[in-house]
C-alpha cells in the first residue's frame, strides 16, 4: 500500500492510499478536489472511496466533485449524517471495515468535533488522525470537553508505537515551539525538532510521524492527567 501525500488549501494534508497491484485507491480528507484530480488522472488510479475524519469544510471540500467524477463512495461517522452530504457508508466506533486491499478500524475520537473518527489501517500500522492528533500537538476542542479530548488521545496512545501517524495539518513547526517552551529538558524533543527543521528546509512535509515519537515528544500525550492536559490546551489556545 502506498500513501501519497497531497497538499490542499493553505496547510491541509490529504492522502491517497493506493493498492499498487490493482491501482484502486482511497482518499482521506480531500479538502479540495483539484490537486487530487490531478494526481488521479496523471497516475491512472481508480478512486473507489472517500474517507472523512470529520465534517469541517477543509476536510470534505473535495467530496462532491470526486464523488460525481469517479463514482467514489463516501465513508464517514454515522452521527455526521446531517453534516457530511451524500455519505454512502455510515461508520461506527470500533467497526472494522474491509473491501479488497483496504481494511481499517474506526476509532471514535470526540473532542475537536463530536463525530471525529480516526482510520486505523492496522495491517499496515498506519493511522489517519485528522484534526485530533497532530505532530507535537492536538486539535482544538470545539464540540467536546477537555475530558473527551483527553480520553480520545488516550485511545490513540494504546496503538503500537511504530504506527505511522498521518495528520490533517502542517502545524508541526508552530507546535514544536510550544512543546519546547513548556518541556524544556526533553532531549528526544530536541532531536525531533532538528529533524522537523531539516525536512521543512528541504520543502518536505513533516508527515508522517510515529506514535513512538509523539509519545516521547508531544506535550499533550505526555500530560499525566486531565488537569495537566486541560491547562496545556488552554495555554496553547492563547499561544
Ligand atoms: Zn477540523
Ligand atoms: Fe482541519
Q: For the domain 1-93, what is the CATH superfamily, name and number? A: Ribonuclease Z/Hydroxyacylglutathione hydrolase-like (3.60.15.10)
pLDDT per residue over 179-232, tens digit each?
Answer: 999 999 999 999 999 999 999 999 999 999 999 999 999 999 999 999 999 999
Q: Classify residue 29 as left (phi > 0), alpha (psi -120 to 50) or beta.
A: left
**Contact at 8 Å (CB) between 25 and 72?**
no
Listed in order, the ranges of the chain carrying CATH 3.60.15.10 are: 1-93, 118-239
- Give the pLDDT confidence of 11-23 residue by residue, as tens digits: 999 999 999 999 9
Identify the burial level of 10 via C-beta atoms within 10 angstroms of its C-beta, where 0-12 means exposed, 13-18 middle and 19 or more buried: exposed
- pLDDT digit string (tens) for 82-134? 999 999 999 999 999 999 999 999 999 999 999 999 999 999 999 999 999 99
Q: How far is the CA of 90 from the centre of ligand 1 (A)?
A: 19
pTM for the model stands at 0.98
Main-chain phi, psi angles of 231, to 5 degrees: -65, -45
Question: Considering only the top CATH level, what class is 118-239?
Answer: alpha beta
Provide the annotated active-site residues.
Answer: 54, 56, 58-59, 112, 131, 169
* Sign of the CA dihedral running 48, 54, 59, 65: positive
pLDDT value for 89 = 98
The alpha carbon of 13 and the centre of ligand 2 are apart by a number of angstroms equal to: 9
pLDDT of amino acid 131: 98
Half-sphere exposure of 2 (CA within 13 A, CB side): 13
- The string of DSSP letters for 140-168 reads --SSS-HHHHHHHHHHHHTS-TTPEEEES
Q: Which listed ligand is nearest to 13 at the C-alpha?
A: 2
Amino acid at each position: 500500500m502506498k500513501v501519497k501525500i497531497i497538499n490542499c488549501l493553505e496547510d491541509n494534508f490529504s492522502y491517497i492510499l493506493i493498492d499498487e497491484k490493482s491501482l484502486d485507491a482511497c482518499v482521506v480528507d480531500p479538502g479540495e478536489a483539484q490537486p487530487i484530480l490531478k494526481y488521479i488522472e496523471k497516475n491512472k488510479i481508480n478512486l473507489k472511496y472517500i474517507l472523512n475524519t470529520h465534517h469541517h469544510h477543509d476536510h470534505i471540500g473535495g467530496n462532491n466533485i470526486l464523488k460525481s467524477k469517479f463514482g467514489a463512495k463516501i465513508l464517514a461517522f454515522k452521527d455526521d449524517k446531517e453534516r457530511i452530504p451524500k455519505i454512502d457508508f455510515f461508520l461506527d466506533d470500533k467497526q472494522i471495515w474491509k473491501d479488497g486491499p483496504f481494511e481499517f478500524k474506526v476509532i471514535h475520537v470526540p473532542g475537536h468535533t463530536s463525530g471525529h473518527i480516526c482510520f486505523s489501517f492496522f495491517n499496515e500500522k498506519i493511522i489517519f488522525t485528522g484534526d485530533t492528533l497532530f505532530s507535537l500537538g492536538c486539535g482544538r476542542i470545539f464540540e467536546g470537553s477537555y475530558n473527551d479530548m483527553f480520553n480520545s488521545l488516550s485511545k490513540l496512545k494504546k496503538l503500537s508505537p511504530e504506527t505511522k501517524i498521518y495528520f490533517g495539518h502542517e502545524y508541526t513547526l508552530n507546535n514544536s515551539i510550544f512543546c519546547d517552551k513548556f518541556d524544556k529538558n526533553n532531549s528526544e524533543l530536541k532531536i525531533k525538532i532538528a529533524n522537523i527543521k531539516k525536512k521543512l528546509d528541504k520543502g518536505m512535509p513533516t508527515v508522517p510521524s510515529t506514535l513512538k515519537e509523539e509519545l516521547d515528544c508531544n506535550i499533550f500525550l505526555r500530560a499525566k492527567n486531565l488537569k495537566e492536559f486541560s491547562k496545556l490546551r488552554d495555554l496553547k489556545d492563547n499561544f
